[in-house]
Structure 1
Amino acid sequence: MTDSTRHDVSPIQGRPRSGLSTPSRSSAGRPNVLIMLIEDVGFGAVSAFGGPCDTPRLDQLTVGGLRYNRFHTTALCPATRAALLTGRDHDHGGTGSATDTAASAPARPTVCASLPEILRLNGYSTARVGKCHEVPEWETGPVGPFDRWPTGSGFDYFYGFLGGETDRYHPANHRPVLYEGTSPVAPPKNRQGGYHLIEDLADRTIGWIRRQHALMPGKPFFMYFAPGATRAPHLVPQGWADCYRGRFDAGWDRLREEIFARQKAHGILPRDCEPDTRHSVIPKWEEVAEEMRPVLARQMELHAGFLSYTDHHVGRIVDALDELGILDDTLIYTIIGGNGASGEKVTTAGAGHAEREAFLRERLEEVGGPDSCDYYALGWAQAMNAPYEWEKRAPSHFGGARTGAIVHWPRGFESRGEIRSQVHHVIDVAPTVLEAAGLPEPVHVHGVRQRSMEGVSMAYSFDAPDAANRHEPEYFEMLGNRCIHDKVWAAVARHHSPRDAALPSFDDVWELYDTIADRTHAHDLAAEDPEEPHELQRLWLVETTGYTVPPLEARSVERLNTDGGGRPHLVRGERQLLFFGMGRLDERSVAPLKNTSHAVTAEIFVPAPGGDGVIIAQGGVTGGWSLYLRDGALGYCYNFYGLNRYYTVGGQPVPPGTHLVRMEFTYDGGGLAKGGDVALYLDDELVGTGRVERTEPYLVSAGENCYVGTETGSPVTADHRIPAFRGRVHWVQIDLGITDTGCGVYPCPSLS
Structure 2
Amino acid sequence: MVENTQSKGRGAGPARERLPIPDVPQVGLTTYDAKDPDTVYPPIAPLRPPDGAPNVLIVLLDDVGFGASSVFGGPCEMPVAQRLADGGLKLNRFHTTALCSPTRQAMLTGRNHHSVGMGGITEMATSAPGNSSIRPKDKAPIAETLKLNGYATAQFGKCHEVPTWEVSPVGPFHQWPTGSGFEYFYGFVGGEANQYYPGLYEGTSPIEPPATPEEGYTLTADLADRAITWVRQQKALTPDKPFFMYFAPGATHAPHHVPTEWSDKYRGRFDDGWDVARQRTFARQLDLGVIPAGAQLTARHAEIPAWDEMPEELKPVLARQMEVYAGFLEQTDHEVGRVIDALDDLGALRDTLVFYLIGDNGASAEGTPVGCFNEMTTLNGMPGIETPEFLIAKIDELGTPAAYNHYAVGWAHAMCTPYQWTKQVASHWGGTRNGTIVHWPSELPDAGGSRSQFHHVIDIVPTILEAAGIPAPQSVNGTTQAPLEGVSMLGTLRDGDAGESHAVQYFEIMGNRGIYFQGWAAVTKHRTPWVLDAAPFDDDVWELYAPDDWTQANDLAAHEPAKLAQLQRLWLIEAAKYGVLPMDDRTIERLIPELSGRPRLITGTSQLLFSGMRVAEGCVISVKNKSHAVTAGIVVPPDGAGGVIATQGGVAGGWVLYVHDQQLKYCYNFFGIDHFMTTAAETLPPGRHQVRMEFAYDGEGFGRGGGITLYCDGKPIGTGRVERTQPVGFSADEACDVGRDTGSSASPDYRPQDSAFTGAVEWVQIDIGDDSQDHLVSAEDRLRIAMGKQ
> Structure 2 length normalisation: TM-score?
0.87
Distance change in 2, residues 1:367/1:215 (3 Å): same
Aligned to 1:735: 767
- Shift of the alpha carbon at 1:672? 4.3
Q: Matches of 1:139 and 1:491 in 2, distance apart?
A: 37
Residue number in structure 2 paired with 1:442: 473
Aligned to 1:206, the other structure's residue is in SS state helix
Q: CA deviation at 1:88?
A: 0.4
The Cα of 1:76 is off from its aligned counterpart by 0.9
Cα distance, 1:187 vs structure 2: 2.2
Q: Which residue of 2 aligns with 1:369?
A: 400
Instruction: Kindly indicate whether residue 740 of structure 2 is the aligned counterpart of residue 710 of structure 1.
Output: yes
- Aligned-residue CA RMSD in angstroms? 2.5
C-alpha change, 1:557 and 1:304, in structure 2 (3 Å) is: farther
1:483 to 486, 498, 514: 514
Change (3 A) 1:506 1:498: same
Q: Which moved more, 1:593-602 or 1:550-559?
A: 550-559
Shift of 1:609: 4.1
Structure 2 residue 225 is matched with structure 1 residue 203: yes
1:68 aligns with 2:77: no
User: 1: CA distance between counterparts of 2:336 and 2:472?
Assistant: 30
Which residue of 2 is the match for residue 59 of structure 1? 82
Q: Structure 2 stretches of 5 or more lacking a match?
A: 1-7, 10-14, 26-43, 373-381, 773-790
Partners of 2:266 and 2:53 in 1: how far apart?
Answer: 42
Q: Are residues 1:617 and 2:644 paired?
A: no
Residue deviations 1:67-110 (CA, integer Å, cap 9, x gap): 11111001111111101110001111121111222236452211
The residue that corresponds to 1:164 in the other structure is 191
How far the C-alpha of 1:631 sits from its partner, in A, is 2.2
Counterpart in the other structure of 1:30: 53
Is residue 117 of structure 1 aligned with residue 147 of structure 2?
no
Task: Name the % identity.
Answer: 53
Equivalent in 184, 204, 218 of residue 182 of structure 1 = 204
Match of 1:337 among 359, 364, 383: 359
**Once the 2 structures are TM-superposed, how far is the Cα of residue 433 of structure 1 from its aligned partner?**
0.5
Shift of residue 560 of structure 1?
4.3
Partner SS, residue 706 of structure 1? strand
Q: Which moved more, 1:77-86 or 1:647-656?
A: 647-656
Distance in structure 2 (CA, Å) of the matches to 1:455 and 1:322:
30
Question: 2:624 matched to 1:594?
Answer: yes
Aligned equivalents of 2:727, 2:487: Cα separation in 1: 43
Residue type of the alignment partner of 2:667: C
What does 1:141-152 correspond to in 2, within 5 Å? 141-152=168-179
Provide the secondary structure at the position in 2 that maps to 1:396: coil
Q: Which moved more, 1:460-469 or 1:238-247?
A: 460-469
Q: Find 1:627's aligned residue among 642, 652, 657.
A: 657
CA–CA distance in structure 2, aligned partners of residues 354 and 286 of structure 1: 24
Q: Which residue of 2 aligns with 1:131?
A: 158
From 576, 596, 601, give the equivalent of 1:545. 576
1 CA distance for matches of 2:587 and 2:55? 38
**Cα distance between partner residues in 1 of 2:97 and 2:762:** 48
Deviation at 1:456, TM superposition (A): 0.4
Q: How do residues 586-735 of structure 1 correspond to structure 2 at under 5 angstroms?
A: 586-670=616-700, 672-720=702-750, 722-735=754-767
Residues 1:93 and 2:123 aligned together: no
- After superposition, residues 548-587 of structure 1 pair within 5 angstroms as 548-555=579-586, 559-579=590-610, 581-587=611-617
User: Residues 489 and 512 of structure 1 are in contact (CA less than 8 Å); yes or no, is this contact kept in structure 2?
Assistant: no
Q: CA deviation at 1:676?
A: 3.4
Deviations 1:488-535 (A, max 9, x none): 421111111232143432224333233422211112222233443333
1:454 to 485, 488, 492: 485
The 1:686–1:502 alpha-carbon spacing in structure 2 relative to 1, beyond 3 Å, is: farther
Kindly provide the amino acid, as one letter, of the partner of residue 440 in structure 1.
P
**Could you say what secondary structure the match of 2:537 adopts?**
coil
State the secondary structure of the residue aligned to 1:646: strand
Asked if structure 2 preserves the Cα contact closer than 8 Å seen for 1:321 and 1:327, the reply is yes
Partner AA of 2:708 in structure 1: V
Of 332, 344, 350, the residue aligned with 1:328 is 350
How far apart are residue 28 of structure 1 and its match? 1.0
Cα 1:216/1:7, change in 2 over 3 Å:
closer
Q: CA deviation at 1:10?
A: 1.7
**Pick from 507, 510, 516: which aligns with 2:547?**
516
Paired residue type of 2:605: E
- Tell me whether 1:314 sits opposite 2:341 in the alignment: no
Counterpart for residue 252 of structure 1: 274
The equivalent residue for 1:278 is 300
Over 3 Å counting, the alpha-carbon distance change for 1:556 and 1:420 in structure 2 is farther
Pair 1:45-2:68 in alignment: yes
Distance 2:338 2:615 in 1: 34
| Structure 1 letter corresponding to 2:393 | E
Q: 2:413 is matched with which residue: 382, 399, 414?
A: 382
Q: Secondary structure at the match of 1:314?
A: helix
8 Å contact from structure 2 (residues 657, 667) kept in 1: yes
CA–CA separation in structure 2 for the residues paired with 1:22 and 1:527:
65
Contact 1:248 1:301 in 2 (8 A): yes
More divergent stretch after superposition (456-465 vs 254-263): 456-465
Q: Which region of structure 1 is more displaced relative to structure 2, 598-607 or 641-650?
A: 641-650
How many residues were matched structurally? 727
* Shift in alpha-carbon separation, 1:547–1:672, aligned structure 2, 3 A: farther
| 1:497 counterpart letter in structure 2 | T
Counterparts of 2:385 and 2:633, CA distance in 1: 43
Q: Paired residue for 2:105, among 82, 88, 101?
A: 82
The superposition leaves residues 359-408 of structure 1 with CA deviations (integer Å, 9 ceiling, x where unpaired) of 32111111111221111111110000001121111111121111001011
Which is further off, 71-80 or 548-557? 548-557
1:624–1:702 CA contact under 8 A, matched in 2? no
CA distance in 2, matches of 1:106, 1:280: 34
* TM superposition score normalised by structure 1: 0.92
Q: 2: distance between equivalents of 1:501 and 1:645?
A: 30
Deviation at 1:556, TM superposition (A): 5.2
Q: Give ranges in structure 1 of 5+ residues lacking alignment.
A: 172-176, 741-752
What is the letter of the counterpart of residue 543 of structure 1?
Answer: E
- How much has 1:245 moved relative to structure 2? 0.5
Aligned-residue offset at 1:564: 4.8
User: What secondary structure, in the 3-state scheme, does the structure 2 residue paired with 1:372 have?
Assistant: coil
Residues in 2 aligned to 1:428 and 1:93: alpha-carbon distance in whole angstroms? 15
Shift of 1:41: 0.4
Q: 1:47 to 1:269 in 2, by over 3 A?
A: same
Write out per-residue CA displacement over residues 554-591 of structure 1, whole angstroms, 9 at most, x where no aligned residue.
Answer: 24576444445433222222111222x23211123222
Q: Which amino acid aligns with 1:634?
A: L
Aligned to 1:174: none
1:289 matched to 2:306? The reply is: no
TM-aligned CA deviation for residue 629 of structure 1:
2.4
Question: 8 Å contact 2:193–2:732 — kept in the other structure?
Answer: no
Encode CA deviations 1:152-176: one digit per residue, 9 max, x unaligned.
11111111111111111122xxxxx
Counterpart CA distance in 1 for 2:626 and 2:567 is: 47
Question: Deviation digits for residues 3-58 of structure 1, max 9, x if unmatched?
Answer: x9996232599999xxxx99832441111111110110010001110000011111
Query: Which range moved further: 40-49 or 6-15?
Result: 6-15
The structure-2 alpha-carbon separation of the partners of 1:720 and 1:311, relative to structure 1 and needing over 3 Å to count, comes to closer
Residue 639 of structure 1: how far off its partner (Å): 2.1
The AA in structure 1 aligned to 2:460 is V
CA gap of 1:47–1:11, structure 2 versus 1, over 3 A, is: closer
- The separation in 2 between residues aligned to 1:546 and 1:204, in whole angstroms, is 41
